[in-house]
Every structure is written in C-alpha cells, then in structure tokens.
Structure 1
Amino acid sequence: MNHRPGRIAKQMKIHLPQDTVTDTNQREQLGDDSVIGDWQLDRSITSAGPEHSLLQFQAAPAGTPTHFDYLLHTPADPNSASALSLLQREFHISQQLSSPHLLPVLDVHLENPPYFIVTPRLPGDTLRTVLHNRGKLELYNALWLLRQAAQAVAALHARGWSTPRLHADNLQIEPDGHLTLSTVGHARRIKNEIDDEALIYADTCRLAGLFMEMTNDDLASTVGNNREFSRQISDCYVGPTSSVTTLLREMLNPSSPCDKQSVQILVERLVRLEIGFLSRPA
C-alpha cells in the first residue's frame, strides 16, 4: 500500500530483518477466536501502549487469509478504560488530519466489545531496531529522518495535538527510508496559549533528542552550545554538521521568549537544508 509521496534520500540504504514474534502468549489471551469483526488474525506482533495495554496482530479481511497486510489493535484487557481511550484517540486524530507520516485508521469497532482499530502494516522496523543494527546514521540520513519526524509533529500541532511519545520505538522506518509515527493514541490536546508554548517546546526538545540519538556522539554534544556556533546563527549552508546543530540550537535556545518558533518553521528550514545538502555532488 503506497499511501505517501516522497523523495528517497541520497544513499539511504537500510536493510531490515524480517518481523519477529514477541509476547508469544498474546494470541492465547483472546481465547480460541481467530476472527474479530470482519478480520482474521494471523500472529501477534507485539504489545504496545502504556504498560503494554494494547495487543497488535497481523490481520487480513476475513476470507483472504493469505495477505496479512494490516494490524489489528485491541485492548489486552477488554475492560480497560485507558486502553479503550487510546484506541478512541487514535481514531479521532485520524479523522481530523491526514499526513504521509501518520498511520490512517482503516476500520474501527469502538462502541461495544470486541474493541479494535485496524491500520496498515508497514514494512521495515522501528528506528530503535535500525539504530541497534546499524549504529549511528550518516548525517544526511539523520537529516532525512529528522525532517519527516518534524513533519508528523507539525501536522499534529496544526490540529492542536502534542505527542509525548516521540521516540525511536514509536517511529517505523521503511526500507526506502520513509518514516511514520506509529501511534498517536498517547497524544495530548493543546488547550490554551500556555499549553501551546510548553507542549510545542517539549516536542521540539524531543526532536532534538532524536537527532542526538541518530547521529555521532561528538556531533550531538554540540547541540545547544551557544559559544561554538555563535558565528553561524543565520547561515544555513555552512555545512551539514554546523547547520543542523545551529538550527536546533536556535529552536531550543531563543534569545527571548517571543522568539520561540513553531515546528512548522523547523520543517521549512530542514527542507532548505536537505535541498542544499542533497543537491551537492557526492
């Protein structure tokens, strides 16, 4: 299912392992039923959500069991109000906005048990697994992924949501380098101007943290160092290392509170950097 546009990053080569089964007893927790609603289940993938309150299964429309191209998400405890709330929020946000970096919800059953939602099952693996298998990424690839994560966050902000679980376990990386924020049931509503500033700044900090996790330690340590980059504040094209770290420093260390910039501005500036860097000869 190719639901997103996008330009493949230069030299982006990520070789990912096949899906692995974890929490092998999850299927048994559902009893002997292999069909929920109009969906036939295959094998459990993992548990998810706070304290593993949700179960995820490979699934296919009933009658077509040879193509398990979907994920069915259902509460581990069918009586859990918090797990149901996660599914309801996933569905609600999916109805509010569409982004190539957020999963669409394709089917829902939330009025009475069995509660579930269905999303596409994307190829690839989490950013955490990619970093574990490959180690730190080259800067161009880290920039490519950081920009996509920022686009997902900006889409949520535009509809009044913040995402406290913006971390490597919740970001799916496809073999072509496309990034998707896997779940948004944890998102928090931005309710007022004070929340707006605090939550948006917190999400910007999380984006910087992702960049630090993806790149070399000596590069990451320079983020936020005002002295080292004081001469490069307005220069987006000095070089990839100094440019990205300078950009993040500006976002996280504004000269005055009124200078705080939105994540959408961060996206726009990352796109400028990406175009500048990827258009240069190798």
Structure 2
Amino acid sequence: MNHVTQVSIEEHTVGDSGAGPYALTTGPDGALWYTLVHSGQIGRLVPGEEPTRHRLDPDSGPTVIVPGPDGALWFTEYRADRIGRITTDGVIDEFGVPTPGCGPFGIAAGPDGALWFTETAADRIGRVTVDGSVTEFPLPVTGAFPSAITAGGDGGMWFTLNQGNAIGRIAMDGAVTLYPLPTQAAAPVGIAAGRDGVLWFVEIAAGQIGRITPDGKITEFPLPDRAARPHAVTLDGDDVVWFTEWGANRVGSLTFDGSLTVHDLPTPRSEPHGITVGPDGALWTALEIGSLARVAAADGTT
C-alpha cells in the first residue's frame, strides 16, 4: 500500500562533483559530519552555514562515519585499511587494521564502549577501542563482503553480508550467527536498528526492504521499482524507516503498517548514498554529485 506525504527537498552544495559525499551522521556538536570518498576528506555542515572540510590522504577512501562513545566521530578508510577518528574541532587520528587489503567499510559504536567495523575483502569483523587497539574476528564464510553494521538492542552487532546473501550477528565475545535471506542474490547493504529491537536492511539487487527480528525471523517488502537499488537505511524518531534509492534517484519511507512512499530528488542522477536524521530533525542524504539533501515534510517537519 502506498501513502502520499508532501515533502520539501533542499540541496546544499558541500563539494564539487568529483568529491563524492558518501555517508553522513549527526555529531555531538549539532552538526552534520560526512565523508567525501573520492577526495579523501571529512566534511562538517551546520545547517544554514558554510561547510568546512578536513583533509585526509587523498586516496584513503573515507566511507562510513558515526559518532563514537568518546565524543568524537569515527570513520572507515576503505582504500587505506585504516580506521579514523576526528574530534569536533578537527583533530584527526588514524589507526591501521592489521590485515592488509581488508577494505573496512561499515562502522558503528557497540554496547561495550568500542567501535565495530566490517572488513569487506577479508571476511572479518573488526573491533577498535577508543585508544586505537584493533581486534579482528573471522567470519565462517568466504567471499561474503560484509558491508554495513549496527548495534542491535540485544547486546550484539548486526551486519549485512552483501555477497553472502545473509544477515549476521556477532556477540561481544566474537561468536557469529548467520541468517540466510529468503530471496536469492538480494545483496543486502545498509542496516539500521529500531527502538523495538528489530533490524531493518536494504537489498540493493532485489529492490526490497528487509526486516529481521532478534530471533532471526525475516520479512521482505518489495519496492514498487525493483530496479531502484536501495542503498542505505535509517529510522526517524517515530521509527519510520527511511532509505535511499541509489539507482532511481529517490528517497523513500516505510511505516510500521507497510505503507510506502517514495520521493524524487530534484537533481537527476544525483546518486544518493547515506541517509540520517539531522540535528534539525529532518532527514539528510548524501548525494555523490557534491551535495547533501534535506528532506522534510512540507510543514517543515519530518
């Protein structure tokens, strides 16, 4: 069932078309922090002000960025095999991952006060403490391309296996459980946790939104456009699921009762990737063409 919601979408330029805004999050300072994957930078935007950027190695490939438990922002450097930390005043530290060519991608704060991350090319989940000590946990599969990761409400970390066609859970002691998806070759990418303990994820190759309970029960919701290539997912304050459609130039939302709405982005082929709730309560998405887009209800609220 579809429902119609009027929204306003505003684009805020934060870099040139080659910079590649990829993922974004709200920092503890009330600003949006985002990665510029192609130019090797971390950006900061306070809505209504000019953006600022902090330089990394140009070829480091910063991808996902999240708030850490220490008041700083933490991010993965996909091409450099490093985990980065940046304080809200711009001081950067970087920590190497022991396995060369591991391709760290997803990252999330865990319930143990550390950051957990995926190693896409090494079939491992990593853990880094706030002082930079890294531990790696091998997965019981090969070539699975672990991608996004998030903390569940059950004390574990949940992640997608993009090429393994499964959702995984890793406990704080490193024990791994895998849950195969009903749809073959669905290629899950983004994952996010709701307040009720349920996890939501997107299947980029199948054009579906997935839902998994802590005991492993999976439900899939097909999108109207199965070729939309959903990429990232988040939940707003009402536990409405929001996602990007990278291949269709849209953002969409899915309510608890299964009502689905999609919204076209203003600029064609803008390549929406990450999505998050901003400091102003609106949804923000990173557009690889060089912008962040603000999505709000027509009355100014999400």
Q: What's the TM-score once normalised by structure 2's chain length?
A: 0.25
Higher strand content, 1 or 2: 2
Please give the TM-score of this superposition, normalised by the length of structure 1.
0.26
**More helix, by proportion:** 1
